Chain A
Amino acid sequence: MGKILEIEDLVLRFYTYEGVVKALEGINLFVEEGETLGVVGETGCGKTMTGLSIFNLIPSPGQIEAGKIFLQTRDERIDLLSQKEDVLREVRGKSVSMIFQEPSSALNPVYTVNDQVSEAFMVHQKEELVKNTLEGLEKDLKKESGKKFFYRLEKRIFEKMLKNPESFSLKILSRIPFVRIYENRLKTELRGAVVEILREMEIPDPERVADMYPHELSGGMQQRVVIAMALACNPQLLVADEPTTSLDVTIQARILDLIKRLKARFKSSVIFITHDMGIIAEMSDRVAVMYAGTICEVADVVEIFKRPLHPYTKALIVSIPRPGEEYKSIEGTVPNLIEPPTGCRFHTRCPMAMEVCQKIRPKIAEVKKNHFVSCHLCSEQTK
């Protein structure tokens, strides 16, 4: 198995009025083909920002200062951070795509479901769609005799579209009333594709749902539409940013089940960002634990839950309320990232902090096989 995504020493800063927020400090991560990587941590620890930086979509005062993100696409390995915007637009949605946290705000309220899902198809799979349309035209040409003249005209337009989609004459044609009726054929084709993907998301009655506006759908249905948009072009890597946080447990269970099955079918890798350890245990193959903009520990999911090494991971696992077992809360609060603690960022709350923790930031190291920890304690033990 190859690595589909590699993040190397990613540093992200937000330049705000109050000071420089050191949001991410040297993130090292990789995602292997076909696996689900769970990213877990408290609010504000940089989970979402790590996800967004893969798309180079960091919101305004934020800037990626250093680091590299390599994506292994079907043909080549590219560094996402050094690419131009038009290359990135090709990648977004086609090779990597994202499911956002709040489905009601991820969907545009003034467009129907059909309009929004078809956008992804229009951007990435136009060629295929036009080809299908042409095939349909050929059939019609053979069948009927009456409107052959118009069919031939249509065929010429679509052939042109296939050859040169940016052509000037097409742009003019699409603006003339009545003439642009030719587009209807493409729209029908597009709608077919949308209904197909909605059906795959197990939306009941997809024909009707396609014509609805987001507010007419329940939260679970909205999330399915968002997942449909993300999976429209069969991406290799899916970033799911807390996809079930705003949903109820019963609906959450169904959405998680859906994501699991779709992942197996589309053979894509998933980065699953969440703060719920229960979901992590259920969904992921490997887990990365984040704290205050750094990665604490990356290991296999069983390893994380049964043999955690980093003090923060240990504390996090003990803090899960479980019936019959004592749970302990983590003392103190998450540090302010404008002036983060020196050295290891967890040392202010760490029960086992040593002197070196206050001074030197621990590097992430492979302590056991496939078990990466950034803690002075662990690296000392292995020495």
Chain B
Amino acid sequence: MLGANKMSTLLETDKLKKFFPLRGGVFRRRIGEVRAVDTVSLKISKGECFGLVGESGCGKTTFGKTVIRLLKPTEGHIYFDVPRDIKEEIEKLEKSNPNSGRLEKLRRKYALSTFGERKLRPIRRKMQIVYQDPSRSLNPRMLVKDLVGEPLIVQKLAKGIELKKRVLEMLGKVGLTDRHYYRYPHEFSGGQRQRIAIARALAINPEFVVLDEPTSSVDVSVRAQLLDLFEDLQKELGLTYLFISHDLSVVECISHRVAVMYVGKVVELADTEAIFKRPVHPYSRALISSIPIADPTVSKEKILLKGQVPSPVNPPRGCRFHTRCDVAIEICRKEEPELIDIGKGHYVACHLIKK
């Protein structure tokens, strides 16, 4: 299993926050904010598939979009492919002298969160996203050749015959053929459309791909085909994935490490096997116990959560899960638990674990 420490880190977020303002009243004043992602610190290693699971509205997609800077983070920093010695220097400075000019300078040079649009453009070549619903993410008026070729033109990577060659090569990689070159997205089935979206994302040879629920809009049989494709492409091109999904069985199959999110926070982070076999946080336990197993002879005890997911506008004080937690104690209502290591790279944010 891939651990966070053994491999070199490709992407790191440091106390990342993304709040969306809520406006109201006569002058559209700011009356509150949706705390979609609230203080998330994660490390994603090179070549791994990092799964991110959680219920809808917990901030998975916002996190995915923020790390590739489609959204500007409210606070916190994103480091992408920073050399190790510089990262160490930043960490040292953060601890000893958080207001120094040197730290400011380093951040401006290496932290994605501070970049402007122009500076981001070369970085965009290294990170791409595949969206949930290909029938909406592909422009219905563009031919496949233009859809897949567009990123190459924007990034000025290929032109003319070179472009065509590259597009055909990409189509071949995702299991489409030359016949599909001059076609419109509506002529394809859902699974094939998702393949076009994948080809489009991979056309410029990215290192890091955010897969935002790529299999939720397709059928079971096609889902298996797509998962195969993701695994093959990862091996072939050495990709790093951030796999966002609410379909836990898919995440279990494809991911090396998994983080569970709940109302904008990571509550548990561990190797896939550890999290599915021995979940520790009460929320992950409930979440994993509620996956239906495709085997009628196995019966398992389900933990049914009471109540509803709290609104990210007014998240509960203390531990965000305490309103629905069976084992909540006094401290859970007051203090927010921190993500602590309980061994073997298994991180949990729960007060009960500490004791």
Contact = CB atoms under 8 A, between A and B. Distances in A.
B305 A254 contact: yes
A315 B221 contact: yes
Given A250-B286, A322-B253, A305 B296 contact: yes
Nearest to A202: B306
A282 B302 CA distance: 12
A276 B219 contact: no
Contacts of B293: 278, 281-282
A305 B292 CA distance: 14
A278 B304 contact: no
B236 interface: no
Contact of B223 (A257, A306, A321, A323): A321
A316 interface: yes
B246 A248 contact: yes
A370 interface: no
Contacts of B297: 302, 305-306
Interface string A258-283: 00000000000000000111111110
A333 B253 contact: no
B224 A328 contact: yes
A253 B304 CA distance: 7
B10 to A, nearest CB: 25
A330 interface: yes
Interface string B218-233: 0111111101100000
A42 interface: yes
B24 to A, nearest CB: 18
Nearest to A306: B297
A327 interface: yes
A218 interface: yes
Contacts of B185: none
A250 B305 contact: yes
Contact of B292 (A278, A315, A334): A278
A16 interface: no
Nearest to A220: B308
B304 A257 contact: yes
A327 B224 contact: yes
Contacts of B294: 277-278, 280-281, 305, 317, 320, 322
B221 A281 contact: no
Interface in A234-256: 248-254, 256
Contacts of B290: 249-250, 252-253
A174 interface: no
Interface size class of A (residues with CB under 8 A): 35 or more
Q: Which DSSP category, helix, strand, loop or mixed, fits chain B's interface?
A: helix
Nearest to B307: A204
Contacts of A257: 302, 304
A329 B276 contact: no
A82 interface: no
B189 A329 contact: no
A248 B55 contact: yes
Contacts of A323: 249, 252-253, 272-273, 276
Contacts of B225: 329-330
Interface size class of B (residues with CB under 8 A): 35 or more
Contact of B249 (A256, A275, A281, A322): A322
B253 A321 contact: yes
Contact of A319 (B190, B224, B273): B224
A333 B292 contact: no
A43 interface: yes
A301 interface: yes
Nearest to A278: B292
Q: Which of B191, B248, B287, B294 has the most CB of A within 10 A?
A: B294
Contact of B302 (A253, A281, A317): A253
A198 to B, nearest CB: 16
B219 A250 contact: no
Given A282-B292, A333-B191, A327 B253 contact: yes
B220 A42 contact: yes
B178 interface: no
A320 B276 contact: no
A276 B290 CA distance: 14
B250 interface: yes
Nearest to B272: A323
B155 interface: no
Nearest to B228: A329
A101 to B, nearest CB: 14
Nearest to B299: A282
Interface in B26-64: 55-56
B292 A281 contact: yes
Contacts of B292: 252-253, 256, 276, 278-279, 281-282
Contacts of B189: 333-334
Interface in B192-246: 192, 219-225, 227-228, 246
Nearest to A283: B292
A357 B131 CA distance: 39
A42 B190 CA distance: 12
Nearest to A323: B252
Given A250-B290, A329-B227, 10 more contacts: A43-B219, A248-B56, A250-B55, A250-B287, A254-B304, A275-B220, A277-B220, A301-B296, A320-B220, A329-B225
17 contacts: A220-B308, A221-B308, A249-B291, A250-B304, A251-B55, A252-B290, A253-B302, A282-B292, A305-B295, A305-B297, A321-B224, A321-B227, A323-B272, A329-B222, A329-B224, A330-B221, A333-B189
Interface of B: 55-56, 189-192, 219-225, 227-228, 246, 248-250, 252-253, 272-273, 276, 286-287, 289-297, 302, 304-305, 308-309
Interface of A: 42-43, 218, 220-221, 248-254, 256-257, 275-282, 301-302, 305-306, 315-317, 319-323, 327-330, 333-334
